[in-house]
Structure 1
Amino acid sequence: MKKTIYLCLSVGFLFSNTSYSQKDETSLKTTYEKDFLIGTALGIEHIYEKDAKANQLIKREFNAITPENIMKSQIIHPEFNHYSFEASDKFVEFGQKNKMFIVGHTLVWHSQLPAFVSKINSADSLRLFMTEHIKAVAGRYAGKINSWDVVNEALEEDGTLRKSVFLNKLGEGYIKEAFDLAAKADPKAELYYNDYNIEQPAKRKGAIELIKKLQASGTKINGVGIQGHWSINSENLKDIEDAIVEFSQLGIKVAFTELDYTVLPNPWDLKGADVNQRFEENPKMNPYKESLPDSVQNRLAERYENLFKVFLKHKDKISRVTFWGVNDSHSWLNGWPIKNRTNYPLLFDRGFEPKKAYLSIMKLKSKPTN
């Protein structure tokens, strides 16, 4: 009976300014607790608990957290011999305090690197940077971080290895080195390869080959993270389902690590989530500056509902579903790939109230009462 009442009340919340009470027991994390973890990405404002509404929502709805930016090497390792651990310490403390599954993101990534890396000319120096970085960061949180995104976005769209600074200077063996270093620094943590578009056939094939090579070499890899930066204007459920099945057949866990659905037009049929891509501002690319029309709200809800139907069908294969942001105002999609846009990709609006998309996911688990 409680779930039925909750859904009715939730509809009311959509059309009022009333906020949830901390006493409410039903949430995303409790509703899906027997299926998979439900996570969110935390920004610096959330880690330091600067917004009471955001803080309440995070604790109520989610049981897994990922740092949006503060563990990326540019921030945590700004100089060769200097690390900045204050924010990441607070992040881990937040997760421990609230008994959450803590994800480290990310150890090796070609983007958002410290400025000094661009001045590294030799393979030996780059290898030293990577080695010391993983030892210092993963080692500091050994036994505290539950899972690491060890290598992030190492593949091109055709499934070949991305021609990053790591590949160019260290060769394809850098991926194995990174995983081996992470396993040594924190033997208890789960280790994942994380990327976008790896549900798509060509890139998926490349990811599968990469993982098989790691497994054949004896390297520890526990799972794959499918980022899930998608659009409501395209349909890719078959690719998603195929990816879940094919990755799980490798004997690893499948996580959806950075989930959001853009509702805005896609410039030049852009695909992927390369943070370095940028386009000029254009009013036609920002059609919902003031509010989201009901028709688009409904389409967003439908997309999430259909996606979670696939997740529930394969819940035995999925370890975690993490939304890339707490609410719409926090989403990186407001500024990518065009600045100053107003996007609505998540389950909670700018006032931290649940959207129709939230209800569409919740109702999948509700049972009719007599």
Structure 2
Amino acid sequence: MKRNVVFLLACMFAMASVLPVSAGNTKTLKDVLGRYFLVGAAMNVDQIWNRTPDETNVVKNNFNSIVAENCMKGEEIHPEENRFFWDDADRFVKFGQDNGLAIIGHCLVWHSQPPVWMFTDERGDTVSRDVLIDRMHGHISAVVGRYKGRILGWDVVNEIFNDDGTFRNSPYYRIIGPEFVELAFKFAHEADPNAELYINDYSLAKPAKRDAVCRIVRELKSKGYRVDGIGMQSHNGLEYPDLDEYEKSIDAFAACGVKVMITELDVNVLPNPEKFGGAEISQNFKYADALNPYKNGLPEAVEKEFEKRYLDIFNIYYRHRGQISRVTLWGVTDTRSWLNDFPVPGRVNYPLLFDRSNKPKPVVDKIIKIFEK
């Protein structure tokens, strides 16, 4: 009898360890939010190769879409002009196909983490406009062409504007001029005419940046280029962005006649260094204990702020569920979030919906309830 009781308890604990949300609710994000839009996560290389199976299972159980966090970026997939490294990206796409997930490619043209050889010749001199266009065409054609028919959509250009709405002075802009944007969309569409094509950026609640994105999307569409969606990166904090402006951006982008996507969602709960701003990854600040106050877990008051922030955000998504096509968390669990090291290396952050034990946080149930109305 005692053995039966022990066995029963063991089974109960085992079941509890794989429940997607709380014991009182076995519905997952994809079960409920997935009725309205894709809900996904960015996956790292360890997860796609199943080196961290518990994290991989979080993806399988809770999401219906994935995006490559790093393995499709230029420096990773195209390390030398005449050499590609396909292993990780191939595995990522296979994982998505094997598990019936919508696959998003990220990203084709970005000033950060580009192919290191892209902008200079063998002498180290800056290449000409024609050479850069040719190289950009070769890169996009090869990457998009390899996964033709298997990728739902691509972040074609990433972070091309400053917060004031001017073009970022990236090597693509300096060497080619603003035409690099339409060329990128042209090359991507030629490589896979059926793939959706997106523009992706951060701080899109800022009116000037919002207007710039709307302007270029309308311009591209007026010239006949395919533009399917605008990605709002949504690297949010407890006090930013202004949610009224954030909501205005959803309406403005939908009015451009494209899909609105929340592409890199997280909530930074840590104090920001002085002069920190946006999600520009070149920012790097010196570690200080004052900037890492929650090494052993969040205080109850901060947990409540975190939960309220997520609920406020998802209430916005619920109101705009007819305009939003995808919501993607930038990471799977707190353990692997980029915000543990950005913009201050070595911190302990808690920005995602799944904790360091690979369990859903209590807010997940509450988010699901919003969409069960």
Secondary structure of the 1:38 match is: strand
Counterpart Cα distance in 2 of 1:279 and 1:117: 28
The Cα shift of 1:289 comes to: 0.9
The higher radius of gyration belongs to 2
Structure 1's unaligned 5+ residue stretches are 1-12
The Cα shift of 1:125 comes to: 1.8
**Counterpart amino acid of 2:168?**
R
Which residue in the other structure is 1:165 paired with?
171
Counterpart Cα distance in 1 of 2:58 and 2:185: 34
Counterpart Cα distance in 2 of 1:248 and 1:40: 23
- From 303, 310, 313, the equivalent of 1:304 is 310
- From 226, 230, 235, the equivalent of 2:236 is 230
Task: Count matched residues.
Answer: 353
After superposing on structure 2, the runs of 4+ consecutive aligned residues of structure 1 that deviate more than 6 Å are none
The Cα shift of 1:58 comes to: 0.7
Post-superposition Cα deviations, 1:207-254, rounded to whole Å, max 9, x if no partner, equal 111111111111110000000001013352111110010110111000
Is the CA contact 1:297–1:356 (under 8 Å) kept in the aligned structure 2?
no
Confirm whether residue 256 of structure 1 aligns to residue 254 of structure 2: no
Which residue in the other structure is 2:343 paired with?
337
**Counterpart amino acid of 2:246?**
I
Counterpart Cα distance in 2 of 1:336 and 1:365: 32
Which residue in the other structure is 1:98 paired with?
99
Is the CA contact 1:298–1:356 (under 8 Å) kept in the aligned structure 2?
no
**Counterpart amino acid of 1:361?**
I
Counterpart Cα distance in 1 of 2:15 and 2:291: 29
Which residue in the other structure is 2:10 paired with?
none
Which residue in the other structure is 2:17 paired with?
19
Is the CA contact 2:353–2:364 (under 8 Å) kept in the aligned structure 1?
yes
The Cα shift of 1:114 comes to: 2.3
Which residue in the other structure is 1:5 paired with?
none
Which residue in the other structure is 1:360 paired with?
366
Counterpart Cα distance in 2 of 1:231 and 1:17: 34
Post-superposition Cα deviations, 1:66-96, rounded to whole Å, max 9, x if no partner, equal 0000000000000001111111000000000
In structure 2, relative to structure 1, the CA distance for the partners of 1:163 and 1:350 (3 Å cut) is: same
The Cα shift of 1:117 comes to: 2.5
In structure 2, relative to structure 1, the CA distance for the partners of 1:352 and 1:218 (3 Å cut) is: same
Secondary structure of the 1:154 match is: coil
Counterpart Cα distance in 2 of 1:214 and 1:118: 25
Secondary structure of the 1:301 match is: helix
Secondary structure of the 1:292 match is: coil
**Counterpart amino acid of 1:39?**
G
CA RMSD for the aligned pairs? 1.7
Q: TM-score scaled to structure 1, two decimals?
A: 0.92
The Cα shift of 1:366 comes to: 4.0
Which residue in the other structure is 1:205 paired with?
211
Which residue in the other structure is 1:272 paired with?
278
Is the CA contact 1:233–1:263 (under 8 Å) kept in the aligned structure 2?
no
Counterpart Cα distance in 1 of 2:62 and 2:52: 16
How does 1:2-13 map onto structure 2 within 5 Å? none
The Cα shift of 1:193 comes to: 0.1
The Cα shift of 1:362 comes to: 1.9
How does 1:280-319 map onto structure 2 within 5 Å? 280-319=286-325
Counterpart Cα distance in 1 of 2:92 and 2:68: 7
Percent of aligned pairs sharing the same letter: 41
Q: TM-score scaled to structure 2, two decimals?
A: 0.92
Counterpart Cα distance in 1 of 2:180 and 2:286: 36
Secondary structure of the 1:300 match is: helix
Greater shift in the superposed pair: 145-154 or 48-57 = 48-57
Is the CA contact 1:302–1:360 (under 8 Å) kept in the aligned structure 2?
no
In structure 2, relative to structure 1, the CA distance for the partners of 1:332 and 1:213 (3 Å cut) is: same
Counterpart Cα distance in 2 of 1:351 and 1:204: 37
Which residue in the other structure is 2:67 paired with?
66
Counterpart Cα distance in 2 of 1:195 and 1:60: 28
Counterpart Cα distance in 1 of 2:17 and 2:135: 47
Which residue in the other structure is 1:112 paired with?
113
Counterpart Cα distance in 2 of 1:159 and 1:235: 17
Secondary structure of the 1:33 match is: helix
Is the CA contact 2:155–2:199 (under 8 Å) kept in the aligned structure 1?
yes
Counterpart Cα distance in 2 of 1:62 and 1:102: 11
The Cα shift of 1:330 comes to: 1.0
